[in-house]
Amino acid sequence: MLTPYKTATAVIDLKALVYNYRTIKSLAPQSQILAVLKANAYGHGLELIAQALVSEEAKADAFGVARIEEALALRAAGIVAPIVLLEGFFSPEDLPILAVNNLHTVVHNQTQLNAINDAELDEPLTVWLKVDTGMHRLGVEPKLFNDFYQNLQLSNNVKNDIVIMSHLGCADDVSNNRTQVQYELFEQLISSLTPNEPVKRSLANSAAICAFANTHYDWVRPGLMLYGVNPLLPKSSTQPLDLKSVMTLYSSLIEIRNIKAGESVGYGASWVSEKDTTIGVVAIGYGDGYPRHASNGTPVLINNRKVPLVGRVSMDMITVDLGLDSKESIGDLVTLWGKGLPVSEIAEYSTTISYELLCNITRRVRIELTE
Ligand X SMILES: *Cc1c(COP(=O)(O)O)cnc(C)c1O
Site string for ligand X, 68-97 (x = CB under 6 A): ------------------x-----------
E-strand spans in the chain?
Answer: 9-12, 32-36, 62-65, 83-85, 103-107, 127-130, 163-165, 200-202, 219-220, 247-259, 264-265, 271-272, 277-282, 299-302, 305-308, 318-321, 333-337, 366-369
Site string for ligand X, 10-49 (x = CB under 6 A): --------------------------x-x-----------
Quick one: three-class SS letters along 33-69?
A: EEEECHHHHHCCCHHHHHHHHCCCCCCCCEEEECCHH
Cβ at position 194, least distance to ligand X in Å? 26
Rounded to whole angstroms, the Cα distance separating 183 from 279 reads 52
Stretch that binds ligand X, among 50-58, 200-208, 261-269, 288-296 (CB under 6 A): 200-208
Cβ at position 223, least distance to ligand X in Å? 2
Cβ at position 359, least distance to ligand X in Å? 10
Candidate residues 44, 108, 216, 221; the one interacting with ligand X per rule CB under 6 A: 221
**Cα end-to-end span (Å), the chain:** 11
Site string for ligand X, 262-291 (x = CB under 6 A): ------------------------------
State how far the alpha carbon of 214 is from the alpha carbons of 211, 220, 351, in Å.
9, 11, 31
Residues 6+ apart with CB under 8 A from 230: 210, 237, 241, 243, 342, 344
Candidate residues 43, 88, 222, 342; the one interacting with ligand X per rule CB under 6 A: 222
Peptide bond into 195 cis (omega under 30): yes
Active-site residue, 286 included: no
Cβ at position 55, least distance to ligand X in Å? 21
Asked if 62 contacts 74 with a C-beta cutoff of 8 angstroms, the reply is no
The yes or no reply on residue 206 touching ligand X (CB under 6 A) is yes
Active-site residue, 38 included: yes
* From 15, 267, 275, 327, active-site residue: 267
Residues numbered 111-170 forming contacts with ligand X, rule: CB under 6 A: 167
Stretch that binds ligand X, among 49-57, 71-79, 217-225, 357-365 (CB under 6 A): 217-225
Asked if 174 contacts 211 with a C-beta cutoff of 8 angstroms, the reply is yes
Rounded to whole angstroms, the Cα distance separating 331 from 322 reads 14
Stretch that binds ligand X, among 145-153, 199-207, 288-296, 322-330 (CB under 6 A): 199-207
The yes or no reply on residue 224 touching ligand X (CB under 6 A) is yes
Binding site for ligand X (CB under 6 A): 36, 38, 86, 167, 205-207, 221-224, 231
The residues carrying an active-site annotation are 38, 267
